[in-house]
């Protein structure tokens, strides 16, 4: 997820762009840049890090332009460096482009363009757009050139482009990555979302997929890529700036929960090979031969990321037949882990900066193990220091409580289980079955999200209980722990997750009518066993919420409340099951009026040991 802002009008363009970028900083800020046109010449400036660095770079430069485009980057391909920051320029410097999204066929396009003599300065997928547009720019018609270029592109984009000899217009196009036009008085704006332009105008036009806009200071026209005119509707925005950054939701946590269908698409994009019943993970290609030889994986992580790792353990053991252990990163270095050339150490971390996980990876490296990462933040320390790895592509996670990063970690762990499994004994049919099921997950999550109001009512009913127990078996045991962690960290209600079968060995003593239990019992291979544990709780007058598979009417007969999720493969159940648990915790905390996005005593990235 990156942020785009474009401006054409009567104001100072660079100041307007900087203001807009600052309001999009929540979309990611590993680097930023602007390009303006003045006196028939494009000038571009870029800086690594927060937007303040770009502001410092521009101060005193007095570019004083009236048209420009800009970008704040959340890296997906290539490290967060100045070369990889946007805008990207054509070889002759006459065109500048900023892009949000992922160009899936960028490697093929890049090779073809190189053969035609184009020189690439960055490692990004986005730079191909600048060169591709240059190829079609011989008639000096920027919109035509952008249309022709985009016809060759596979993947997603929100782009804006400017050219030195069309110094009064910005071209903007969208497929999969949002763009909105802001309609002003003798000035117009383009941005990834309304937060960037709310300070200037409330009148907007949302671009739809497949649409392209030519925007000048006093006009705009929208067509498809074949130049067919599209009638558009002007909407009026009545959000405050803060509301708009949260996409109209009350908290970032809710926004991030709601984003999960999109996150699954992004974390699998270009990686699924259903025909061959396998996956392509570019970040592991260099170590594929080594991966064939490993016999053991140690997963190291903390908190929510560790629960994802525990679910990954079940997946890899069942489908890749590799022995897996999951360690608390904070404990790893105090043990004497037995590592050899047949062991890989895999760090799972949203931020890629967690001190304990980093220390564990360094220790594993020192002992000569192959180190791997599943990391969300591109270019973070863990991503840089591991031998190889896979990015989640979940986009920036702002709320302290991790939600969409967890689901994307589970998706990537599934992909790794398929990759490792197919290197070993997993059949093509099994691989294909898993991939086909992964492809259905976004729709299934959307369905769960539609029942958010029901979970909200349930949250109200249970908000005043001081304790909660979460139970699950097999794939849903770590999920029970994650459900309990979500609840305790944002609502401050004491909650614990247990393996359902373990409860009778002590913890069941806690149960009475004031200690509700959240039992995660999908219709899977351990369903009957779960029901036996639920009966044990009922016998002690415990209150029960059951999370189970659609169509399981039996649950309604025994539980106080039932939440349904769609059917899926047992290994993928946590990806669906976590969504109601996140919503339940979220609504309880918001009923209590707590600071959901910034719970007390916690930090988003724990960089101390």
414 lines the binding site for ligand F6R (CB under 6 A): no
3-state secondary structure of 278: strand
Q: Considering only 5-13, 216-224, 343-351, 564-572, which stretch makes contact with ligand F6R by CB under 6 A?
A: 343-351
In the 8-state DSSP scheme, what is residue 207? P
Nearer to ligand F6R, 301 or 438 (CB): 301
Total residues contacting ligand F6R by CB under 6 A comes to: 15
| 380 is an interface residue for ligand F6R by CB under 6 A | no
- Asked if 41 contacts 164 with a C-beta cutoff of 8 angstroms, the reply is yes
Q: Judging by DSSP bridges, how do beta strands 180-183 and 188-191 pair with one another?
A: antiparallel
Question: How many Å apart are CA 345 and CA 370, to the nearest integer?
Answer: 6
In terms of CB distance, is 239 or 328 closer to ligand F6R? 328
Strand pairing class (561-565; 544-549): parallel
Nearer to ligand F6R, 552 or 605 (CB): 605
Crossing angle between the packed helical segments 51-58 and 13-23, to the nearest 10 degrees: 170
257 binds ligand F6R (CB under 6 A): no
Cα R_g (the chain), whole angstroms: 25
Closest CB to ligand F6R belongs to which residue? 303
Distance CA 298, CA 345 (A): 5
**Of 251-259, 300-308, 438-446, 455-463, which part binds ligand F6R (CB under 6 A)?**
300-308
CB 236 within 8 A of CB 203: yes
Among candidate residues 53, 13, 9, the one with its CA nearest the CA of residue 31: 53
* Contact call for residues 10 and 186 (beta carbons, < 8 A): yes
Q: Min. distance of Cβ 595 from ligand F6R in angstroms?
A: 14
Report in angstroms the alpha-carbon separations of 370 from 145, 193, 309.
46, 41, 17
Clarify whether 147 is annotated catalytic: no
Phi and psi, residue 102, nearest 5°: -135, 125
Please state the closest distance from residue 472 (CB atom) to ligand F6R, in A: 18
Q: Shortest Cβ distance from residue 296 to ligand F6R (Å)?
A: 22
Nearer to ligand F6R, 382 or 555 (CB): 382
- Using DSSP's 3-state secondary structure scheme, residue 376 falls into coil
Which one of residues 177, 268, 351, 549 is an interface residue with ligand F6R (CB under 6 A)? 351
Take residue 12 and report the two structure tokens written for it: 């100072």
305 binds ligand F6R (CB under 6 A): yes
Give the whole-angstrom CA distance, residue 120 versus residue 128.
8
Q: Which one of the spans 238-246, 310-318, 346-354, 560-568 is the region binding ligand F6R (CB under 6 A)?
A: 346-354
Neighbours of 349 (CB within 10 A): 34
DSSP structure class, residue 543:
-
Give the one residue of 94, 192, 304, 530 binding ligand F6R; rule: CB under 6 A: 304
Nearest partner of 492 among 601, 608, 603, 403, judged by Cα: 601
Minimum distance from residue 380 beta carbon to ligand F6R (Å): 9
> Per CB under 6 A, which region of 159-167, 320-328, 350-358, 439-447 contacts ligand F6R?
350-358
Nearer to ligand F6R, 158 or 373 (CB): 373
Beta-strand pair 388-391/517-520: unpaired
Of residues 354 and 491, the one with the C-beta less far from ligand F6R = 354
- Concerning whether 2 is annotated as a catalytic residue, the answer is yes
**Shortest gap between Cβ of 255 and ligand F6R (angstroms)?**
15
- Scanning 250-258, 297-305, 311-319, 568-576 for contacts with ligand F6R by CB under 6 A, the matching segment is 297-305
The Cα–Cα gap between 133 and 161 comes to 9
Contacts of 142 (CB under 8 A, 6+ apart): 95, 133, 161, 162, 163, 166, 169, 171
DSSP assignment of 16-27 equals HHHHHHHHTGGG
CA triple 252-257-258, angle to 5 deg = 95
326 makes contact with ligand F6R (CB under 6 A):
no
252 sits in which H/E element: helix 252-258
Smallest separation, CB 493 to ligand F6R (Å): 15
Is 354 a residue that touches ligand F6R (CB under 6 A)?
A: yes
- Binding ligand F6R by CB under 6 A: which of 302, 413, 458, 484? 302
Should residue 605 be labelled a site residue for ligand F6R when binding is judged by CB under 6 A?
yes
Residue 176 three-state SS: strand
Q: Work out which of 357, 495, 530, 533 binds ligand F6R, going by CB under 6 A.
A: 357
Of residues 476 through 495, those in contact with ligand F6R by CB under 6 A are 485, 489
Sheet of 343-349, strands arranged across? 323-328, 296-301, 343-349, 370-375, 388-391
Run of H or E including 478: helix 476-491
Nearer to ligand F6R, 127 or 482 (CB): 482
Which one of the listed residues 2, 147, 302, 476 is annotated catalytic? 2
Cβ 596 to ligand F6R, closest distance in Å? 12
**350 makes contact with ligand F6R (CB under 6 A):** yes
Among the residue ranges 202-210, 253-261, 301-309, 455-463, the one whose residues contact ligand F6R (CB under 6 A): 301-309
Residue 303 in the binding site for ligand F6R (CB under 6 A): yes
Indicate the DSSP class of residue 185: S
Q: Tell me if 544 contacts ligand F6R by CB under 6 A.
A: no
Q: Which of these is catalytic: 79, 367, 461, 604?
A: 604
CA–CA distance from 480 to each of 493, 523, 574 (Å)? 15, 16, 9
Report in angstroms how near the CB of residue 200 gets to ligand F6R at its nearest.
Answer: 35
Site for ligand F6R in 388-407 (CB under 6 A): 401-402
Among 152, 232, 538, 606, binds ligand F6R (CB under 6 A): 606
Using CB under 6 A as the binding rule, whether residue 408 contacts ligand F6R is answered as no
Binding site for ligand F6R (CB under 6 A): 302-305, 349-351, 354, 357, 401-402, 485, 489, 605-606
Kindly list the catalytic residues. 2, 604
């Amino acid at each position: 997820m990156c942020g785009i802002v474009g401006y054409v009008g009567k104001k100072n363009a660079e100041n307007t762009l900087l203001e807009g970028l600052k309001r999009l900083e929540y979309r990611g800020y590993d680097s930023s840049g602007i390009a303006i046109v003045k006196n028939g010449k494009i000038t571009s400036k870029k800086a690594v890090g927060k937007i303040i660095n770009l502001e410092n770079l521009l101060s005193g430069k007095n570019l004083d332009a009236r048209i420009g485009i800009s970008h704040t980057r959340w890296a997906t391909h290539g490290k967060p460096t100045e070369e990889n920051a946007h805008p990207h320029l054509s070889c002759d410097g006459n065109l500048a482009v900023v892009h949000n999204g992922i160009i899936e066929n960028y490697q093929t396009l890049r090779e073809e363009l190189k053969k035609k003599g184009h020189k690439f300065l960055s490692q990004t997928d986005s730079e191909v757009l600048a060169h591709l547009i240059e190829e079609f720019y011989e008639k000096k018609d920027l919109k035509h050139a952008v249309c022709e270029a985009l016809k060759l592109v596979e993947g997603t984009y929100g782009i804006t482009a400017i050219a030195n000899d069309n110094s009064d217009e910005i071209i903007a196009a969208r497929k999969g990555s949002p763009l909105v036009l802001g309609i002003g008085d003798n000035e117009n704006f383009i941005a990834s979302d309304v937060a960037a332009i709310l300070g200037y105008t409330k009148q907007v036009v949302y671009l739809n997929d497949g649409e392209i806009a030519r925007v000048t200071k006093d006009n705009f026209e929208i067509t498809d890529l074949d130049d067919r005119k599209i009638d558009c509707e002007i909407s009026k925005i009545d959000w405050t700036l803060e509301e708009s950054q949260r996409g109209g939701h009350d908290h970032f946590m809710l926004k991030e929960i709601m984003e999960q269908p999109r996150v699954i698409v992004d974390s699998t994009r270009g990686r699924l090979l259903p025909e061959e019943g396998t996956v392509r993970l570019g970040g592991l290609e260099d170590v594929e031969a080594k991966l064939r030889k490993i016999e053991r994986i140690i997963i190291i992580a903390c908190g929510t990321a560790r629960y994802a790792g525990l679910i990954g353990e079940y997946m890899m053991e069942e489908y890749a037949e590799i022995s897996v252990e999951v360690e608390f990163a904070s404990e790893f270095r105090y043990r004497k882990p037995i590592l050899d050339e047949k062991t890989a150490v895999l760090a799972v971390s949203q931020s890629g900066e967690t001190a304990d996980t980093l220390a564990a990876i360094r220790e594993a490296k020192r002992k000569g193990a192959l180190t791997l990462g599943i990391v969300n933040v591109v270019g973070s320390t863990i991503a840089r220091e591991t031998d190889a790895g896979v990015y989640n592509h979940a986009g920036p996670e702002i709320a302290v409580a991790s939600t969409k990063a967890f689901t994307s970690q589970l998706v990537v762990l599934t992909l790794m289980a398929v990759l490792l499994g197919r290197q070993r004994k997993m059949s093509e049919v099994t691989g294909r079955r898993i991939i086909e099921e992964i492809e259905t997950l976004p729709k299934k999550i959307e369905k769960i999200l539609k029942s958010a109001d029901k979970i909200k009512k349930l949250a109200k009913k249970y908000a005043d209980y001081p304790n909660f127990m979460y139970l699950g078996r097999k794939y849903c045991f770590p999920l029970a722990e994650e459900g309990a962690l979500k609840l305790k960290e944002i609502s401050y209600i004491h909650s614990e997750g247990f393996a359902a079968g373990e409860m009778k060995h002590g913890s069941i003593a806690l149960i009475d009518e004031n200690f509700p239990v959240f039992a995660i019992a999908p219709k899977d291979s351990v369903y009957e066993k779960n029901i036996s544990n639920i009966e044990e709780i009922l016998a002690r007058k415990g209150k029960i919420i059951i999370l189970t598979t659609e169509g399981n009417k039996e649950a309604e007969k025994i539980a106080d409340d039932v939440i349904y999720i769609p059917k899926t493969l047992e290994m993928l159940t946590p990806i669906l099951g976590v969504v109601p648990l996140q919503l339940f915790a979220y609504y309880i905390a918001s009923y209590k009026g707590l600071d959901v996005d910034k719970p007390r005593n916690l930090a988003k990235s724990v960089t101390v040991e």
